Amino acid sequence: MEILQNLLLFFGQTLIVILAIIAILAAVGILIAKAKDQKSFKIELLHETLNDHVEILSHVLKGKTELKAEKKKKKAEEKEKAKAIEEGTYYKSRIFVLDFLKGDIKASATEHLREEISTVLGVATPNDEVVVRIESPGGLVNSYGLAAAQLLRIRSAGIPLTICVDQVAASGGYLMACTANKIIAAPFALIGSIGVVAQVPNFNRLLKKHDVDYKEYTAGDYKRTVSLFGEITEKGEAKFKEQLELTHDMFKTFVGKYRTQLDLSKVATGEFWYGEKALSLGLVDEIRTSDDYIFSRPKDQQIIRISYENKPSFSDKLSDAFAKILSHALNKLLVRNNSIENV
């Protein structure tokens, strides 16, 4: 009986919370209607961040006398640097770093990549360089085709494009990577998989076994070559395979256009290779981690990371807060009931 009373009390409290939130939403309804996901534009000066970290560690490790002499020397260098920066003569070139590190099947990160590239193209010159760090096992052909086309905008503008792969650039990931003037890969990065795959489960025999009729109506001989529930015919299956081969040919043509040194008969088999072997096959140009490549630069080069991130809308924040309140209240009730039952 006491447990039932506790449950009724909990639901009563929950109802009050819900009504209060509804009242708040009604009061700020106009704001919520206008609140959409906003993109946060972020610029990081990676060379300055690295220098700050090195300086902190240096202070910990060095003695007072050494630090004093170093501080005096650095003060003079900073004065000269500030003057050169003001005159526009210090930084000889810039490296713009972009990340495509969550390469899901739909290449969802393309949305941000296109905006980052548009921003960079507004300021970059042929004296600069764009470095894109890619991590992706591939996915949908059209999605990764669009991502690769975005990268080609950099190359078409005459700005050197370098792709760095620390873990994997396979299939659609390599479709993106091959657009670069130079591909850098870590020793054990997975590279390649220049092939096409399609998997279609078919439940037609299962439906027949249970006397379930399935009708599919199309206009056009090849509108639906294979399907989940319809019977797969020899004609339909042959056409489907033909379409796969056509897609593979397009993939090979695209790669061959930008990696002319490749022997496509050897590398366009759908296989992947680790970095060292990929280098010997011509799939990449250098074995190196992205960190080593980016940060082993002269002091007169700026390293600038640019990124766009989605900021949660006002309504999303309210939803999250509401969910936390409910979760907290439910947990308190469960703990209380358990303590009562254990007495």
Work out whether the CA dihedral 319, 323, 329, 332 comes out positive or negative: negative
Q: What is the rounded distance in angstroms from the CA atom of residue 99 to the CA atom of residue 309?
A: 12
Which amino acids are annotated catalytic? 171, 223
pLDDT in tens, 57-82: 666 666 667 766 666 666 665 666 56
Describe the chain by its helix, strand, coil percentages, rounded to 5.
55, 15, 30
pLDDT in tens, 150-202: 999 999 999 999 999 999 999 999 999 999 999 999 999 999 999 998 888 88
Give the number of other CB atoms < 10 A from CB of residue 135.
19
Instruction: Catalogue the long-range contacts made by 318-323 (C-beta closer than 8 Å, 24 or more residues apart).
Output: 318/21, 318/24, 318/25, 318/32, 322/17, 322/21
For residue 24, the Cα-to-chain-centroid distance in whole angstroms is 36
pLDDT at 305: 93
Residue 203: burial class (beta carbons within 10 Å; 0-12, 13-18, 19+): middle
Q: How confident is the model at residue 15 (pLDDT cuts 50, 70, 90)?
A: low
pLDDT in tens, 269-319: 999 999 999 999 999 999 999 999 999 887 778 899 999 876 655 555 555
CATH number attached to the domain at 38-193+271-311 = 3.90.226.10
pLDDT at 127: 93
Under 8 Å between Cβ of 259 and 178: yes
